Amino acid sequence: MDPRTRWRWSAKVKAEPGPGRRVTEVVVLTTAMLSFISFWRASAIVLCDLASTAYYIGGIVEQAVGKSAPWFILAVMMFSYAIRAVYMESCSMFVRGGVYKVVKEAMGGTLAKLSASALMFDYVLTGPISAVAAGQYLAGLLNALFPHFRIGWHLDPGWFSVVFAIAATVYFWWENIKGIHESSDKALKIMQLTTVMAVVMMAWCGLTLWLHPAPLPPFTLNFSPEALGWAPKLGWLKPVGAVGVIMAFGHSLLAMSGEESLAQVYREIEAPKMKNLERTGLVIFLYSMLLTSLTSFFAVMIIPDSVRISRYGDNLLSGLAMSVVGPHWARLLLQTFVVGVGVVILAGASNTSIVGANGVLNRLAEDGILVDWFRGLHKKYGTTHRLINLIVGLQIITILLCRGDVYMLGEAYAFGVIWSFVFKTLAVMVLRFKDRRPREFMVPLNIEAGGVEWPVGLALIFLVLLATASMNLITKKVATVSGTIFTAAFFGLFLYSERDNERRHADAHAVEEKFNLREETDLNRVGGEFKKDRRVLVGVRDPNNLLPLNKALDELDPENTELVAFTARVRSGLGLVEETAAMDADERRLFTRVLEVAEKHGKTVTPMLVVSNDPFYAIVQAAQAVGAAELLVGVSAKLSAEEQLERLAMTWGSLQTDNPPVRLRIIGAAGVEHNADL
Amino acid sequence: MGLYQKENAPKGPAGSGALPVVVKIAPLLSEDVILFPAEGVDKTAILEQLTAAVCRKAGQDPAAALAKVHEREAGISTTLDTGLSLPHARLPGIDGILAGLAVLKTPLVDPKQPELSIRAVFLFFSPDKPGAFPLHLQLLRGVASLFQAPLIEKLSAANGPADALALVRKSEG
């Protein structure tokens, strides 16, 4: 189950006593209710990852390529707009359109598992690099403040950042165990705070440069020996002019880590989904472009060369704060503010990495790539706690291994980012030929020739990514070695789990959600939990035919209406049936599909299951309990629409003696509708 | 001819403030269409007797009407767990609702759903015209709502058609 699902309620209702009552017992099972978020919240979640890189990217890239670093960071940020387009196209095809899903559809399971493994490397490192960087900033600030308070301490930035990073990771582990709502709220607040900091910082830096003009950073590349990796041994590389540029671009690429979060949050974005995804993409592009690129330029132009890397390599924005114009106390205040915001946003990035990795692993588990055990739900919070534990465990190991070295983490980090992009872009390109369904969004620059539409734009993006990824293999030793080992290990785990699953479930399995169950005693109490003005109840039965649900979702105004997707488990006999509050495979499949459709529309649905010996009584009783103003059902295979309406009207009257209006709607094929107001 | 009262025509989506047509049941009935069938008769015989009484009053062909009732009865059950059976049909050539009521002193097992007992049968015909279907549905809802178990219990103890009609009128208010 996705961490966004919330356990809403369940109810167990006994019919009024009396001989021959049709409804003998109704069990409403606990339902999973999806909640959807605005594009601002979605942007905040992605930016917590993407924008936080501003805090460490400048220092890492300059250590690798020299003072020209800002130009390459700018290039990477501009290129991220193209990557955003790739993600938008894949999301337009698959609601759960992360790397694994898209690569699998295009090129099969093996490459999909490989790309997902690379992506996991990215996520597992995102958390530690962010949390460790936060620790570095905090240590730098505390060391700067201690003398002012006559405290003779000096913190070791390395070990302090390790302790801090572990504490932050454990804190967000617990937040994720509890569920995502708190996290998206926090993400929004973090980004609001970051925006204030960015505006203050930009203005102050602008004033500094106005008073003390400085030249733009040079274009000259000056690779450190570490940044060259194995390249010096490959003499044939030297004469190729573009190699240096590609190498530098590759060292800067981690600036756009976090784009994958776009695919992860797409599932959560409210309607209109694609429009809101476009807005999210634009917001994160503009924001990260301004914050990450500008701060990198300002850092090189304002911080003196003598201290920029030696003293502030791991906390560049602190250096920037202490190098702007103004009295010492004001700069110290600015540094405190910058560090405060940095600690918060970097810790937020640590959280985003847990959320993102959990999302990816959930998709894999749903697809049978992880053994079912991993999908077990937390008894109290209903989250996939075992997956969260796995991710956080790996992150804590990484934090301990790096011993607070941000540069080392940055070196390794780009491996997962770039290779997941390579696979993803290739997959979207392959799908252009393999699946010619119309898309809501396509990466631009498509040329029609010979009756075929050639995806030139996609091909160019792919070539840039492939060249960069290949070059990184040569130049980034740490990334290549650690990334290969990690990816191979995860690939092995996925492969083993998949085979184990196939052995246990010989029939294979469709993608299914996990549902928690909780029992209540009063259906009317359940109805009272709906707070919006209107309620609509829609009957669902066949996962392959959800026309009424689609229609209801098309029309739904989430501001004032709540939608209940209802199904009845029909049992014969009139005696009390002690049904267990567990769904069978068909019901799980049905509700999984219901949630998928709801996700596609970006609107909330509350699924409900009732056990009864008469489906008409069951649906009418449920509709009356929730106070439905409309009741939608599909055309029956056995009854005409008129007979269905007649039976519903009779049942409605027999169960309700007062007269609130209701509209009954029978939805047939191609949207043909029969309705009646009662 | 039967009567119905259109208190407020629906003007928009349900729940938006529009009220549906409200059908009054008691004015549809009269003493000559309220029967107390003899003990031991089955549902088919009750339908025949009720159809005959209703058609006699309205000057309609009982055979054609009965055929329509049987056609509908062949479909999904018209018996509710309140003890009411609600056979109905849409009849060409009529302009309003035709209705009759049979009250059973002894419960009758429903032939289609043996687990249910029938204690009252409310039969009605509505015009077979496109615009009349909402009224038909209103009547189904209204009758099912009115004839709840307590009223049916009282009807079973009624002394005759006049007493039964008075009970229906009183219950409807």
pLDDT, one tens digit per residue, over A529-544 is 778 889 999 999 888 8
Q: Provide ipTM, 2 decimals.
A: 0.88
Instruction: Give me the pLDDT at residue A506, please.
Output: 55
A510 pLDDT more than 80: no
pLDDT at A291: 92
Q: Which fold has domain A6-31+515-677?
A: Rossmann fold (3.40.50)
The more confident residue out of A74 and A380 is: A74
* φ/ψ of residue A216, rounded to 5: -65, 155
More confident residue, B90 or A12: B90
Residue A230's pLDDT is 85
Same fold: A6-31+515-677 with A45-419+464-496? no
Greater confidence (A489 vs A233) lies with A489
Q: Which residues of chain A have a CB within 8 Å of the CB of B144?
A: 649-654
| pLDDT above 80 (res A45) | yes
Query: Is residue B156 within 8 angstroms of chain A, CB to CB?
Result: no
B25–chain A nearest CA distance, Å? 13
**A16 and chain B: CB distance < 8 Å anywhere?**
no
Q: Given this model, what pLDDT does residue A525 score? A: 65
Task: Look at phi and psi of residue A602 and say left if phi exceeds 0, alpha if psi is from -120 to 50, else beta.
Answer: left
Mutate to test the interface with A, among B5, B125, B129, B137 (most CBs of A within 10 A): B137
For each of chain B's 173 residues, which pLDDT tens digit applies?
333 333 333 333 433 334 445 678 899 999 999 999 877 788 999 999 999 999 998 888 899 999 999 998 888 888 988 889 999 999 998 888 999 999 998 888 888 888 788 999 999 999 988 788 888 998 999 999 999 989 999 999 998 899 999 999 998 87
d(Cα A387, Cα A356) in Å, to the nearest integer? 11
Model confidence at A237: pLDDT above 80: no
Q: What is the pTM of this model?
A: 0.71
Tokens of B88: 């109905």
Contact status of B14 with chain A (Cβ, < 8 Å): yes
The verdict on a CB contact (< 8 Å) between A677 and B83 is no
Task: Identify the CATH class of B31-172.
Answer: alpha beta
pLDDT, average across residues A445-450 = 91
Q: Any idea which of A25-39, A123-137, A188-202, B86-100 has the lowest mean pLDDT?
A: A25-39
The share of chain A scoring above pLDDT 70, in percent, equals: 87
* Confidence band of A11 (pLDDT split at 50, 70, 90): very low
Q: What is the DSSP string of A503-556?
A: HH-TT-------------S-HHHHHTT--SSEEEEEE--BTTB-HHHHHHHHH-
Average pLDDT of span A2-21: 36
Residue A480, pLDDT > 70, answer yes
Is A214 in CB contact (< 8 Å) with chain B? no
pLDDT at A146: 93
Chain centroid, CA A242 distance in Å: 35
User: Average of pLDDT values for A480-501?
Assistant: 89
- Give the nearest partner residue to A678 out of B115, B133, B141, using CB atoms: B141
Choose between A642 and A232: higher pLDDT: A642
Residue A675 bridge partners (DSSP): A665
Q: Is B130 an 8 Å CB contact of chain A?
A: no
Pairing of strands A25-28, A11-14: antiparallel
* Per-domain residue ranges of chain A: 6-31+515-677, 45-419+464-496
* DSSP bridge partners of A454: A447
CATH 1.20.1740.10 fits A45-419+464-496, yes or no: yes
Give the residue from A5, A22, A11 showing the smallest Cα distance to A622. Answer: A11
Closest listed residue to residue A317, CA positions, set A188, A198, A145, A168 = A198
pLDDT confidence tier of residue A50, bands split at 50, 70 and 90? confident
Other beta carbons within 10 angstroms of residue A548's beta carbon come to: 23
Helix (H, G, I), strand (E, B) or coil at B173: coil
- pLDDT tens sequence across A16-42: 434 444 444 455 544 345 567 889 988
**Average pLDDT over chain A, rounded to an integer:** 84
Q: What pLDDT digit, counting tens, does each position of A567-607 carry?
A: 888 776 544 445 555 677 788 888 888 888 888 888 888 88
Task: Please give the Cα distance from A202 to A206 (Å, whole number).
Answer: 6
Q: Which of residues 573-602 of A touch B (CB under 8 A)?
A: 573-574
Give the residues across from B101 on adjacent strands: B34, B122
CA–CA min distance B91, chain A (Å): 15
More confident position, A291 or A572:
A291
Residue A662 touches partner B, C-beta closer than 8 Å = yes
d(CA B120, CA A172) in angstroms, rounded, equals 65
Q: How far apart are CA A115 and CA A341, in angstroms?
A: 33
Q: Does B117 touch chain A (CB under 8 A)?
A: yes
What is the spatial distance between Cα A335 and Cα A295, in angstroms, rounded to a whole number? 14
Q: Chain A: give the shortest CA distance to residue B137, in Å.
A: 6
Q: What is the pLDDT of residues A327-367, one digit of tens each?
A: 999 999 999 999 999 998 888 888 878 877 887 888 787 77
Mean pLDDT confidence for A184-188? 79
β-strand pairing of B117-127 with B84-85: parallel
- At A285, is the pLDDT very low, low, confident or very high (cuts 50, 70, 90)? very high
Whether residue A646 and residue B140 make contact (CB cut-off 8 A), yes or no, is: yes
Distances in Å between the alpha carbon of A86 and those of A46, A357, A429, A440, A616?
Answer: 16, 20, 9, 12, 47
CA A159, A162, A166, A172: dihedral to nearest 10 degrees? Answer: 130
The per-residue pLDDT for A515 is: 59
Which residues, at least 6 apart from A384, have a Cβ–Cβ distance to it below 8 Å?
Answer: A1, A2, A3, A358, A361, A362, A365, A374, A375, A376, A377, A378, A514
A652 touches chain B (CB under 8 A): yes
